[in-house]
A and B are shown apart, each in its own frame.
Chain A
Amino acid sequence: AQSVTQLGSHVSVSEGALVLLRCNYSSSVPPYLFWYVQYPNQGLQLLLKYTTGATLVKGINGFEAEFKKSETSFHLTKPSAHMSDAAEYFCAALANTGNQFYFGTGTSLTVIP
């Protein structure tokens, strides 16, 4: 079975600073990987996903993530944080032969003005 680990349940950054949210997966076969964002009292919104091909994936709202097979990582970055980025972020994995998503426990991002 897959497992997804998000390092840091809470991350605070200053407005304009780099955002880095960490995600590692555990699987012998690289899965499809995803980042979702959840705003209070809302469902999950897909930020970006990696399935195959280019390992640097660009998503919405200026976010991007890089798949590194050697490190089994899929960290999310954004060069300059905006106040509207404050939310809960979830990394998820999907076996490329399966239909079950495995989510990490989430990272709460706070942006300090």
Chain B
Amino acid sequence: ETGVTQSPTHLIKTRGQQVTLRCSSQSGHNTVSWYQQALGQGPQFIFQYYREEENGRGNFPPRFSGLQFPNYSSELNVNALELDDSALYLCASSFWYSTDTQYFGPGTRLTVL
């Protein structure tokens, strides 16, 4: 059984660019949540995907968008990058009926210059 994996590990972009981050769920998990963890802060909920649809969103602007694929893997897309988007982006997977038990990936460190 493989855990949650994320790619890439690190990424450097410039302000105004677009970025796509990827997440593969733990085997069998059908729900994926994305979090942004700024330096020195706790993770903040961006959104959750279930059955390929967004199922709940935190306080993030529309330039943060996502996708979930039939195999339950997921992408986080961020358009028009801003300096404040620099953070560790974490994804977590779970079963729909057990979202209180989420398994986190190692994260993608995004730096916006």
* A residues with CB within 8 A of B: 4, 32, 34, 36, 41-46, 49, 51, 90, 92, 94, 98-106
What total count of A-B pairs have CB within 8 Å? Answer: 56
> For the complex, would chain B's binding face be called helix, strand, loop or mixed by DSSP majority?
loop
When distances are taken between beta carbons in the complex, the residues of chain A under 8 Å from B106 are: 41-43
Instruction: Verify if B76 is at the interface (C-beta below 8 Å from A).
Output: no
The answer to whether B99 and A46 touch across the interface, beta carbons within 8 angstroms, is: no
Interface residues on B, range: 20 to 34
Contact flags (1/0) for B48-82 with A, using CB distance below 8 Å? 10000001101000000000000000000000000
* B residues with CB within 8 A of A: 4, 33, 35, 40-45, 48, 55-56, 58, 90, 92, 99-107
The answer to whether A105 and B99 touch across the interface, beta carbons within 8 angstroms, is: no
Return A34 CB to nearest CB of chain B, in Å.
Answer: 8
> For the complex, would chain A's binding face be called helix, strand, loop or mixed by DSSP majority?
strand
The 5 sampled A-B contact pairs (Cβ below 8 Å) are A4-B42, A42-B106, A46-B101, A100-B45, A106-B40
